[in-house]
Chains A and B, each alone.
Chain A
Amino acid sequence: ETGVTQTPRHLVMGMTNKKSLKCEQHLGHNAMYWYKQSAKKPLELMFVYSLEERVENNSVPSRFSPECPNSSHLFLHLHTLQPEDSALYLCASSQDRNSGNTIYFGEGSWLTVV
């Protein structure tokens, strides 16, 4: 138990569906992250939120839309995804965005786009 909870753990969706991934952290952290992990590829940082403000967006397609309503919750809204978007999506948090902080990961949400 890392203090970062992701739901759902598994999601299968069609290319025309709209779904959301949810992340909640119980660590009192101020920074939250979405990472994408595809087979045999390095972890890709998608979004960074610091104090509920998006501070990083690594050229992620607009079909992925993050939302951070407060410092404890982070969502990833999914719309008209492609099969190549199938991957493990990892949420993470850290005390803040300063260098040297340990990042705490959730267990991930396995997404399959059919």
Chain B
Amino acid sequence: SQQGEEDPQALSIQEGENATMNCSYKTSINNLQWYRQNSGRGLVHLILIRSNEREKHSGRLRVTLDTSKKSSSLLITASRAADTASYFCATIDGGGSARQLTFGSGTQLTVLP
């Protein structure tokens, strides 16, 4: 079954506003990663947060992780038109036999100029 699930499926905001995307997962994890995909292109890694971390920053990105709720959020501050893309969360299970990164269906973010 799918591990990570993003919410909302689509988000449209004005340039300069903040964008928040959420991810929920089902089982225990070692870490959670966020990726970005421009239309028709490959995925690009944005940030990784480990299960013992609660918050992480990278430039205009802020990721939080709540393992008790099995959820994560990605906040993009002061959004730009160039941030328009699909954003995916991905998890690797916490078991010793971690095998694959499982992706959700993504949030399509549109930033209007």
List residues of A whose CB falls within 8 A of some B CB.
Answer: 2, 4, 6, 40-43, 45, 48, 55-56, 88, 90, 92, 97-100, 102-108, 110
Question: Interface residues of B, CB < 8 Å — how many?
Answer: 27
Q: How far is the CB of A47 from chain B (nearest CB, A)?
A: 11
- Report whether B40 and A40 are in contact in the complex, using a CB–CB cutoff of 8 Å: no
Q: How far is the CB of B25 from chain A (nearest CB, A)?
A: 13
The 6 closest A-B pairs by CB, nearest first: A99-B98, A105-B42, A43-B103, A99-B92, A99-B30, A105-B43
Stretch at the interface among B16-24, B44-52, B54-62, B70-78: B44-52
Q: Which B residues are CB-close (under 8 A) to A98?
A: 98
Q: Which B residues are CB-close (under 8 A) to A43?
A: 43, 88, 103
CA–CA, A87 and B92, complex, Å = 24
Q: Which A residues are CB-close (under 8 A) to B31?
A: 99-100
Contact of A48 among B92, B94, B99, B102 (CB under 8 A): B99
- Report whether A88 and B40 are in contact in the complex, using a CB–CB cutoff of 8 Å: yes
> Which of A2, A4, A42 lies at the interface centre, i.e. has the most chain B CB atoms within 10 A of its CB?
A42
- Report whether B45 and A56 are in contact in the complex, using a CB–CB cutoff of 8 Å: no
CA–CA, A55 and B100, complex, Å = 11
Determine if B105 is an interface residue (Cβ-Cβ < 8 Å). Answer: yes
Q: How far is the CB of A44 from chain B (nearest CB, A)?
A: 9
CA–CA, A65 and B31, complex, Å = 31
- Report whether A40 and B42 are in contact in the complex, using a CB–CB cutoff of 8 Å: no
> Given A88-B40, A110-B40, A102 and B100 touching (CB < 8 A)?
no
New A-B contacts (14) at CB < 8 Å, excluding given A43-B103, A102-B33:
A4-B42, A6-B42, A42-B104, A42-B106, A99-B30, A99-B93, A99-B94, A99-B98, A100-B30, A100-B50, A103-B101, A104-B45, A107-B42, A108-B40
